[in-house]
Amino acid sequence: MIIDEEGVIELIKIIGGEEAVKIAHKLLKRPGLTDDEIATMLEMDIKHVRKILHKLHDLSLLTYEMAFDKKNNRRVFKWRLQQEQVIGVIKAQLKKIYNRLQLLREYFNRNQFYWCGNTSCKKYTFDFALDYFFKCPSCGQKLNYYDPAPILSAIDKKIMDIEKMLG
């Protein structure tokens, strides 16, 4: 398996959104930029830049070198992308999602569900719905029977896709 630059950018977009993509483009062009430099170049808030950098660093997509800025008497962090880690990151994320989907499949197979129809509200099991007198605790609307067939088939499809990817 191999991943090109576009794949790396796509992954970064999934993780950090468009702003992370802008940062990644800068780091691909000029590895070793500091957070200050990135914020100035992109005219972004430095705190927001750092937040994105740390998010990507948590997933091992970025690495940094620490240097001492004698002029300002402080430490600076020079960031670079770790392209060789990308496939590992994707596989780790896919494994996590795969386990979650297995859990969800079991949950939707085992229980009977009631739902208010509001996409921001969850589907409640029969026991839970009974406790709340078939009224959604989030929006207050009536809870109706929910057929889990569409979500189960979606879960199965996704599981198959991930199995193909993970080999």
Footprint of other proteins (CB under 8 A)? 1-4, 7, 10-11, 14-17, 55, 59, 86-87, 90, 93-94, 96-97, 99-101, 103-104, 107, 119-123, 150-151, 153-155, 157-158, 161-162, 165
| 16/114 with CB nearer other proteins | 16
How far apart CA 142 and CA 136 sit, in angstroms, is 6
Nearest to 59 by CA among 128, 25, 12: 12
| 33/86 with CB nearer other proteins | 86
Q: Please say whether the beta carbons of 23 and 52 come within 8 A.
A: yes
Q: Which residues contact 37 (CB under 8 A, 6 or more apart)?
A: none
| 6/43 with CB nearer other proteins | 6
Q: What amino acid is encoded at 144 in this protein? A: N
| 26/55 with CB nearer other proteins | 55
Q: How far is the CB of 1 from other proteins (least distance, A)?
A: 5
Q: How far is the CB of 158 from other proteins (least distance, A)?
A: 6
Nearest to 23 by CA among 38, 33, 8: 38
How far apart CA 84 and CA 88 sit, in angstroms, is 8
Q: How far is the CB of 2 from other proteins (least distance, A)?
A: 4
